[in-house]
Structure 1
Amino acid sequence: MAPRLFTPLTVRGLEVPGRAWVAPMCQYSCRPGEPGFVTDWHLAHLTSFAIGGAPLILTEAAAVTEVGRISPWDAGIWQDQQVGAWERVVSLVHRTGSLIGVQLGHAGRKASTYAPFHERSGSVPVAEGGWQSVGPGTAPFGSYADPRELDLAELSSTVAAFGAAARRAVTAGFDAVEIHAAHGYLLAQFLSPLVNRRSDEYGGDLAGRARLLLEVVDAVRASVPDRMPVLLRLSATDWGSGQVADDLERTVQVSRWAVERGVDLIDVSSGGNVPRPEIPIGPGYQTGFAEQVRRAVEVPVSAVGMITRPDQAEQVLAEGQADVVMMARALLADPHWWHRAAETLGHPLPWVGPYARAAPLLD
């Protein structure tokens, strides 16, 4: 039998030929004069994984509005003019033999920040190309600048922006879309009782706090073909003091509601709404969360977080903790991870033609 890592998985109408997928990784590499437009860097970055044997690649978060970018250097898909640059990436990834999906996001109160590798940190001032962020309320994230509270009309336009971005993703040729509702960004902010203190229909109990996310799910699902998978990334917990069990219960319920509305895979991560949380980081530290969500829903679930070795990834799948493993930093270190994994697990994996001469080096 083939290793689980290399067995196909069908998600709605898409058959993916393996189960180690490229997780979204922000590159902060758009040019300031062309906000949101992906560049040659993104083309090289994403295609490197296709050459290395990735079955499915998820792009970094593509902002659905200009003010929804995490930083001034982030990718976007909020206007039609940005589609052509994405089409170029999608076309080359497809020609190289991989599938590719786009993550749709809005940073909310965590927008307009410096890139992690910038010499400065925190919020980017308006004078330097930043903007005022928005959120469920006016409370900032840590030391970031104060956001402006979104009104009901703006919430409606945000839902519409996700739908319009999904339609552009279809035009660009993407194979799947993922809604980013994790890591303390806008949709995760609305879900969290630590952040969302609204008293209108978008706050209060879990049903109210989940309203915006579920409206986004409806808008995205209605904007893509029926065969196209819609994925959802959630933070299982924000690692607040004494909150982990309650957060996980909330995540399970939100996952159930999302699946009822047409989500086809739950991508389980954690963290983002609590500044400087104490997280017990270690190999596979989030897979237990994925396993609990998997028990509660009837769609595939992915796990992410310090999954680096082929035997470790195979074990996560074999033990039923998840149906898919998402990987990031290990793939930056080795974009040919899949070929090395195939060799380790004794599975033949074809190389892209111009790279086939490298195969003997793994023997």
Structure 2
Amino acid sequence: MTVSQPGKLTKSAPAPGTPFYTPQQTPAAGTALNPNDPNLPTLFTPIKLRGLTLQNRFVVSPMCTYSADDGHLTDWHLVHLGAFAQRGAALTIVEATAVVPNGRISPEDSGLWQDSQIAPLRSVVDYVHSQGQKIGIQLAHAGRKASTLAPWHVAGFTPGASEVATADIGGWPENLWAPSPIPWDEGYPIPKEMTVEQIEGLVQAFADAAKRAVQAGVDTIEIHGAHGYLISEFLSPISNQRTDRYGGPLPNRARLLLSIVSSIRAVIPQSMPLLVRISATEWMEWTNAPSWDLAQSKQLALLLADAGVDLLDVSSAGNNPRQQIKLQPYYQVDLAAEIRDELKKQGRKGMAVGAVGMVREAEMARDVVQDGRASKSSGVEGENGEYGAEAKADLVFVARQFLREPEFVLKAAAQLGVGVAAPLQYRRAPIKMNKL
């Protein structure tokens, strides 16, 4: 029971538009309780992307879990993804979801190539919305890295290692698509070079999957153009050695991605933001041969901004097993910052930038998005001893830390001394920590 006015008890208001009863979370978990506090870190301030408003800057990055049933989400995904939304993540993005069957990374990957896959996704969407939070989906094609086994089949979870899923266990190693017939690595199948007709059909498949995502009620869509999957294979001169209009100079190598952006933008509501994830570099500069690098990512960012993309989600790597990553806590955040600076310099302030990678602590999450307001409580010291250094990104995308701590948003708020709403049902067990 809740108190509506002195002396009068009423039932808890139900969450609006939800096909089951659950109390309305007002405000949603993760919302700052004192939004007018001049010292409130940017991390807990709202941001608007087209018609979508998020109450804080935390995004659950799409993470493959290899647990779908012929592309259909299951109760596993409902519990897994719902836990993050319940505990304050403003936006949760469903894992890489294949737009055609041979675009799955594994036989157990999520898919959205047929209408029967809409309803299971809708169940997850309804739950996230019941918590007052937002949800998106990442649409993808795995290209030459498709038809592999889930990582737990590889001894010791060896980074970068994988095993081919053969036809007898539901794989399709004879039907891998790529821009050029270049395998991912030794021992992997040689992919088929896509025909122009197949490329055009794939663009339509992305649009059709986007329509299904809208039917399922998602709030935003992200295009997966990173990590060595099909779109990033087209972007890289290492994996794309075509001589037609989809190969050669950057505008040609980016043609597939830009066509997909255009096709999706045309079928989703005007108010819905469109996101794109890229690998800012494939970390192959050490070869002194042409590869995908930060300079080209800056050029691509400008093209995407002009094409109607609302946020660029900046990751890196994944397109070559010989990559040499210069690993440090900000190794990808700094790439995002450089792209964000280039966008501002070139007058493309309408496209936001998200940063991802090794965000494990509240202080790092805060510092990545701190917008430059003078705030000693933020602890972010800028030039000349002033507080409020320039933000490196507008949103922080968090992956594995949410697996370790589904309550990462609430814990970060406690660590930073920010009062935020908790789920109604959990308020008798608040997270209390000393401000660091």
TM-score, normalised via structure 1 length: 0.96
Runs of 4+ deviating beyond 6 Å: 243-246
Q: Confirm or deny: 8 A CA contact 2:285 2:291 kept in the other structure.
A: no
- Correspondence 1:180-329 to 2 at 5 A: 180-242=224-286, 247-297=293-343, 298=349, 299-318=351-370, 319-329=390-400
Moved more, 167-176 or 125-134: 125-134
For structure 1, which runs of at least 5 residues remain unmatched after alignment? none
Moved more, 312-321 or 259-268: 312-321
CA separation in 1, counterparts of 2:337 and 2:302? 14
Residue aligning to 1:49: 84
Residue 415 of structure 2 is aligned to residue 344 of structure 1: yes
Q: Confirm or deny: 8 A CA contact 1:7 1:17 kept in the other structure.
A: yes
- Correspondence 1:13-162 to 2 at 5 A: 13-31=51-69, 35-119=70-154, 121-131=162-172, 132-143=175-186, 144-162=188-206
Cα distance change on mapping 1:17 and 1:156 into 2, 3 Å: same
Give the 3-state SS of the residue equivalent to 1:89 in structure 2: helix
How many equivalent residue pairs?
Answer: 360
Offset of 1:147 from its aligned partner? 0.8
After superposition, the C-alpha distances for 1:95-116 in whole angstroms (9 at most, x for unaligned) are: 0221100000000111001111
For structure 2, which runs of at least 5 residues remain unmatched after alignment? 1-37, 156-161, 344-348, 371-389
Offset of 1:145 from its aligned partner? 1.1
Q: Confirm or deny: 8 A CA contact 1:12 1:228 kept in the other structure.
A: yes
Give the 3-state SS of the residue equivalent to 1:358 in structure 2: coil
Offset of 1:88 from its aligned partner? 0.1
Moved more, 286-295 or 117-126: 117-126
Offset of 1:165 from its aligned partner? 0.7
| One-letter amino acid of the structure 2 residue matched with residue 25 of structure 1 | M
Give the 3-state SS of the residue equivalent to 1:223 in structure 2: coil
Q: Percent identity?
A: 45
Give the 3-state SS of the residue equivalent to 2:393 in structure 1: coil
| One-letter amino acid of the structure 2 residue matched with residue 130 of structure 1 | G
Give the 3-state SS of the residue equivalent to 1:218 in structure 2: helix
Q: Which has the larger radius of gyration?
A: 2
Structure with the bigger percentage of helix: 1
| One-letter amino acid of the structure 1 residue matched with residue 430 of structure 2 | A
How large is the RMSD of aligned CA atoms in angstroms? 1.5
CA separation in 1, counterparts of 2:271 and 2:79? 29
Moved more, 13-22 or 116-125: 116-125
Q: Confirm or deny: 8 A CA contact 1:108 1:185 kept in the other structure.
A: yes
